[in-house]
Amino acid sequence: MRGIVTWFVKNSVPANLFMFFLIFGGFFVSYPTMKSEFFPIPDLSTITISVPYPGASAKEVESSISSKIEDRLQGISNIKKLRSYSLEGAGLITIQVFDSGEIDTTLDDVKTIMDGISTFPQNSEAPVISKLEPTEKVLDVIVYGDVDERVLLNITKQVNKEMKELSEVSFTEINGDRDKEITIEVSEKNLEKYNLSFDQITMAINAGSIDLPGGLLSSKSGDLLIRTVGQSYNANEYENIVIKGQPDGSQLLLKDIATITDGFIDVESYYRWDGVQAMFISANLVGDQDVLLAAEQLRKYVKSKQSDMPPNVSIGMIKRAISKIVLIYYIEILLLE
C-alpha cells in the first residue's frame, strides 16, 4: 500500500489523470440516473389513521376510539413512535416507523388490525388509513377564455384527463372550478294555485330522482341484477318529475310550477387570466419521478394542444415549480403540539 502511495507522490501526472478519471467518469455514469428535484424532499415514514365520529366530544373520542386503536397497535414491531390526538368529532393517530423501506408492510399490518376492531361506536365512520407521501408540484397548466363557464369547465376536464395519461405525471388537481348547483324556485302563487306545500314538492322530487336496487333475479342462464335508474343530474331531467296527478288525468310536472336553473355555487374568489375567466390544473409528482422530465413532457403537451383548442379558449402554463408536502394532518399535529 505504501508503495502505491509513494509512486503516486513521485508521479503527479498519472495521479492527476487518475483523479480526473474518477471524478468525471463517476459524474457521467451517475448523472443520467439522478433524480431531479426543485427542493429536497424528506423521508416522512409516517402512517396516519383518521376516524371521524360526528358530534362526539374529545373525551368520548379518546375512550371509544383512540385508546382502542393504541392498544391494538402496540404489537407491531416496526413502530418507532405512536401518537394519538382526540379531537371533537374525530380521532387522529400518527405512526412513525423505524425502517422506511418496510412502511408498505407496516401499512398492511395496520389495515389488518384496524379491520379486526369491531367495537367502534355505531355512529363513527370508517377509518381512513394512509401513508404520508411528499408531493412535488411541477407547474400549472392554465385553460382560459371568454366563454360560458360550463364550456370552460368541460374543456378543462378534458385537458385534465389527457394530462393524467402522461407517463411522467403522478396526479393532477383542478383549481378554479365551482361545484355545480341546481336551483328550483317555486312561487307562493303556484303553491296556492295547485294546492301544494313545499313538503309535498320535496317528497315528489326525492321520489322522482333516485336510483333504487331491485334485488337479484336468478335463472338457469345466470343471475340478473335489477336496478331502477332514475337519478336526475341536470335541469332538463328535473323538469319532468311528476308532482301529482290532476283530476282530468293529466300530470302536473315540476316545470309547470317551478323555475329550474343549472348553475354553480357562489364563491368568494375567482381565477382570471388575461382579463378572462381561467381554470388551473396543477401537475404533481409522487415518489421517484423526475421533475425535469415531467416538466419537459408537459411543455410538449401544452405546445401541441394549443392548436387543438376551441375558438375563444386558450391554454398555457406557469413556468414555476413549488415543492410542497401535503401534510394536512401533520399540520394539525404541529398546531396541537
Same domain, 161 and 276: yes
β-strand pairing of 46-52 with 90-97: antiparallel
Do residues 208 and 229 touch, judged by C-beta distance below 8 A?
Answer: no
Same domain, 280 and 164: yes
**Residue 34 covered by a domain:** no
For 190, counting Cβ atoms within 10 Å of its Cβ (0-12 exposed, 13-18 middle, 19+ buried), the class is middle
Final residue belonging to a domain, choices 214, 244, 264: 264
Same domain, 119 and 145: no
pLDDT for res 147: 92
Q: Which residues pair with 323 in a beta bridge?
A: 136
Nearest to 152, CA basis, from 183, 182, 169, 176: 176
Nearest to 91, CA basis, from 122, 54, 118: 54
Same domain, 53 and 191: no
How far apart CA 31 and CA 40 sit, in angstroms, is 17
Q: Residue 239 belongs to what domain range?
A: 186-264
Same domain, 54 and 159: no
**Residue 14 covered by a domain:** no
| Rg value, the chain, Cα | 30
Grid cell at residue 288: 421517484
**Residue 301 covered by a domain:** yes
Final residue belonging to a domain, choices 214, 230, 264: 264
Same domain, 66 and 140: no
β-strand pairing of 212-219 with 180-186: unpaired
pLDDT in tens, 30-41: 555 555 555 555
Nearest to 141, CA basis, from 162, 111, 126, 120: 162
**Residue 142 covered by a domain:** yes
Return the HEC string of 82-111: EEEEEECCEEEEEEEECCHHHHHHHHHHHH
Same domain, 63 and 207: no
H and E: helices and strands count for the chain? 12, 16
How many domains does the chain contain in total? 3
Do residues 245 and 256 touch, judged by C-beta distance below 8 A?
Answer: no
**Residue 220 covered by a domain:** yes
Same domain, 170 and 272: yes
Same domain, 147 and 212: no
Same domain, 215 and 240: yes
Return phi, psi of residue 30, to 5°.
-90, -25
Residue 118 sits in a domain whose CATH number is 3.30.70.1430
Residue 140 sits in a domain whose CATH number is 3.30.70.1320
**Residue 202 covered by a domain:** yes
| CB-based contacts of 96, cutoff 8 Å, min separation 6 | 45, 46, 79, 80, 81, 82
Same domain, 159 and 280: yes
pLDDT for res 79: 85
pLDDT tens, residue order, the chain (337 aa): 566 767 766 777 777 777 777 777 666 665 555 555 555 555 567 888 999 998 888 889 998 999 999 888 887 888 888 888 998 889 999 988 887 667 888 888 889 999 888 888 888 898 999 887 767 778 889 999 999 888 999 999 999 999 999 888 888 889 888 888 888 888 888 888 888 888 888 888 887 777 666 666 677 777 766 666 667 777 778 888 888 888 888 888 888 888 888 877 777 777 888 889 999 998 887 766 677 788 889 999 999 999 899 999 999 988 654 444 444 444 444 444 4
